[in-house]
Structure 1
């Protein structure tokens, strides 16, 4: 619930504040998949009219984070578990291709950018904030994509990374509980070194292993926690 300071801030910035607040709450699973987003309730929460609320929900829909049902009610987008294998398949292809291209085409400036994003990710891991971790993880991989010089592959990769951020939060939770959080920073560092060495085949192999680790940990999380009150559904 927004406090008085947040409400005053919201009134001054309109839909952007509502959008960013709900965006972060959805990604961090504070708002669970399938949760109803009622415009009237949200307008009361943020102390504003329904127009900026509606605009924020439209923007969130464009991010695939909310869904408008046939009765015009809006819910937090469910996580489609049954399509997860297809999602990971696409992510693997995009991750490997962008990382291969980065190893082949990277410049010194690209290496500095990737290293900076990796340092930010390591700082987020030490902080333990999953929202910061998922954003830093995305920026690390997008720095790699930028080094690959293919805007079409990069845009496809970014969309997949965005779609997977809620699942990544569950992934973070699992590896922290299993004491394997070091794998995150170590794998990123190894990918950076392969790109630095222009070792295309090693970069490819590391990117593939990185996807497999995410896949396997998410599946293990689901096996342990399937009874939780999340709306994991398949289409």
Structure 2
């Protein structure tokens, strides 16, 4: 029986709390790929019944962050290194198309929104908070996508950005090893300038270079850390 002095949990808040906590721990790689997520243990950890935990895991499965195995156990989804080249191909197309459209169709209000998102991203870089950086990075690029006025391309782009957030986390770690985090803010500033100038060709070139830099740095991280029992050691066969 619940103690009457305890604050009542708002209906649905348990699911949200469990979902958001586990999502952040997965995206930040605090929970490693392949880690087992046991409903009973999580329910004890969060001081709640198994039902909201189960609902949270279902939501995470919809985000492709967890998978259910044949034995019905749930684990943190692997990062599929072998499919990374195909992922980057799709990301490049989506990033270039959305950025081109933004340069062509943006409004003054769009520019203010994109600039504000960039300012927020710079603040997260200065703090060195990788989880906040990946969220702010997504917000910046989605502000560009919304300025392009194509909801279908924007939705496709958002799905790709969500899918790549754990890889982006490793990308940030790589940049910090060489103290090159400033490169990300510079690239964003250049993209914003091209969109402001309605320079479609330059916006396209910058978006392509932005994807290529992410690809090259991620592959460099793999080559330097994959065989040294780094977080990627549990990801499966090398690409």
> Within 1, Cα distance between the matches of 2:236 and 2:110?
40
SS in 1 for 2:179: coil
| Aligned-residue offset at 1:229 | 4.8
| Aligned-residue offset at 1:98 | 0.2
Is residue 10–residue 17 contact of structure 1 (8 Å, CA) maintained in 2?
A: no
Structure 2 residue runs without a partner (length 5+): 1-5
1:52-81 per-position Cα deviation (integer Å, ceiling 9, x unaligned) = 000000000111100011111100000000
> Within 2, Cα distance between the matches of 1:229 and 1:56?
24
> Within 2, Cα distance between the matches of 1:44 and 1:179?
41
Instruction: Identify the residue that residue 184 of structure 2 maps to in structure 1.
Output: 184
Pairing 1:26–2:29 present: no
Show the 5 A alignment for 1:132-211.
132-211=132-211
| Aligned-residue offset at 1:178 | 1.1
SS in 2 for 1:79: coil
Considering only aligned residues, what root-mean-square deviation do their CA atoms show, in Å?
1.5
> Within 2, Cα distance between the matches of 1:203 and 1:87?
21
Pairing 1:126–2:126 present: yes
> Within 2, Cα distance between the matches of 1:225 and 1:74?
27
1:26-52 per-position Cα deviation (integer Å, ceiling 9, x unaligned) = 000000011000101101111111000
> Within 1, Cα distance between the matches of 2:8 and 2:151?
35
| Aligned-residue offset at 1:17 | 0.2
| Aligned-residue offset at 1:218 | 0.3
| Aligned-residue offset at 1:179 | 1.6
| Aligned-residue offset at 1:9 | 8.6
